[in-house]
Amino acid sequence: MIEFIFTLDYEIYGEGIGRLKECVIRPAQQLLDIFKYYGYPLVVFPEVLEFEKIKEYGSDPDIDQVGLQLQQILNTGNEIGLHLHSWWANANFTCGKWQLDFSLANLCSLPGYKIREIIGKGLDILRRLLGDSQYQPIVFRNGFWIMQPTRVIVEILNEFNLKIDSTLFRGGRIRKYNVDYRPSVSNGYYWKILDDVNKHQDDGLLFEVPIYTELVPFWKMISRFNKRKSMNNDKEVPSERLLKIIGLRAIFGDYFRMKYPRKLDYCFLSLEEILTSLNKLIMLDERTNKDYKPIVLVGHSKNLTDFEKVDRMLEFIRKRNLRIVTFNQILHRLCS
């Protein structure tokens, strides 16, 4: 049985560029309106550390709209998770520019007391934004897709009563931060984690419900990198680097053998690519209906431009009587 979980990372660009109105508030509202029309819930991951800093430095006139919108999101049947870009924790705003502390970029590798401090702070900010001191998110997503090293952060998330992590993308690798999710390729659709996010552990303290990926040949990723580059007005340096790597590998004949984990990202993939993936999943589910398959899709408010595509996707899902749910709604299934 398949259930889809549509997640939205609600944030400006990681390096501090972008206005709240254009990158967050307006696109999120349009997306919410479409989901509301179909009666489906969204899971929203507001990156709270940046909102606290934007408020502190008064760097964006629309900051007060963020809390109001998040309250509206929560009060209309959606879910809000905890999402942290730890490099914002020590941010300063000088001469009209953000100075971010990238020595904190891998939250998981910081000393335990620092991880606890940043997660605790994030929860306080989230509760303040929502105007609810008791609000308890159950799902976590870390910045830069980093969930290694795993044990300490999982223990601390468990202390704070988080139940699920949805950071890992199956088959992924982030060399810069020594993150390697390739061993998780043969895992099921969710598992319990403690020592290593890649491995199921019976005494795991959190569930990993990964971001769904498909392994595709490298050439299928090229159009996506180009699209990402143009959408960000050439701001995304990593894709340039990746393109160089692709080029080198191509010269040495490795090009067509290489597979890349492509996230089910409703901002970057075309409608055709998404519907092809969904059709494959539906066909797989017809053969293996007994296995429960929570399928997590991703999108970022800053990259949302094609709402017609979202509408067509939801129409496709509704016509096939498929369900879109929240992590809260599936927790009992994971536990059973």
Q: Which residues bind Zn ion (CB under 5 A)?
A: 9, 11, 47
- Cα–Cα distances (Å) from 164 to 38, 128, 202, 310, in that order, read 26, 22, 15, 26
Cβ-based nearer residue to Zn ion, 165 or 205? 165
Q: Minimum Å distance from CB 45 to Zn ion?
A: 7
Q: Minimum Å distance from CB 143 to Zn ion?
A: 5
Q: Give the whole-angstrom CA distance, residue 280 versus residue 141.
A: 26
Cβ-based nearer residue to Zn ion, 11 or 273? 11
Cβ-based nearer residue to Zn ion, 146 or 193? 146
Residue with the closest Cβ to Zn ion?
Answer: 9
Cβ-based nearer residue to Zn ion, 122 or 204? 122
Q: Give the whole-angstrom CA distance, residue 212 versus residue 152.
A: 25
Token pair 């924790």: residue? 89
Cβ-based nearer residue to Zn ion, 47 or 208? 47
Cβ-based nearer residue to Zn ion, 84 or 246? 84
Q: Minimum Å distance from CB 47 to Zn ion?
A: 5
15 within 8 A of 333, measured Cβ to Cβ: no
- Cα–Cα distances (Å) from 140 to 123, 147, 263, 282, in that order, read 11, 10, 18, 27
Q: Minimum Å distance from CB 251 to Zn ion?
A: 34
Q: Minimum Å distance from CB 169 to Zn ion?
A: 13
Q: How many CB atoms lie within 10 A of CB 165?
A: 24
| Angle, helices 219-231/237-251, rounded to nearest 10 degrees | 160
Strands 259-263 vs 213-217: parallel, antiparallel or unpaired: antiparallel
Q: Which helix (H) or strand (E) holds 242?
A: helix 237-251
- Degrees (nearest 5) of the Cα angle 283, 289, 290? 160
- Cα–Cα distances (Å) from 209 to 80, 93, 150, 169, 330, in that order, read 16, 36, 15, 9, 10
Q: Minimum Å distance from CB 209 to Zn ion?
A: 17
Q: Minimum Å distance from CB 128 to Zn ion?
A: 19
Cβ-based nearer residue to Zn ion, 191 or 302? 302
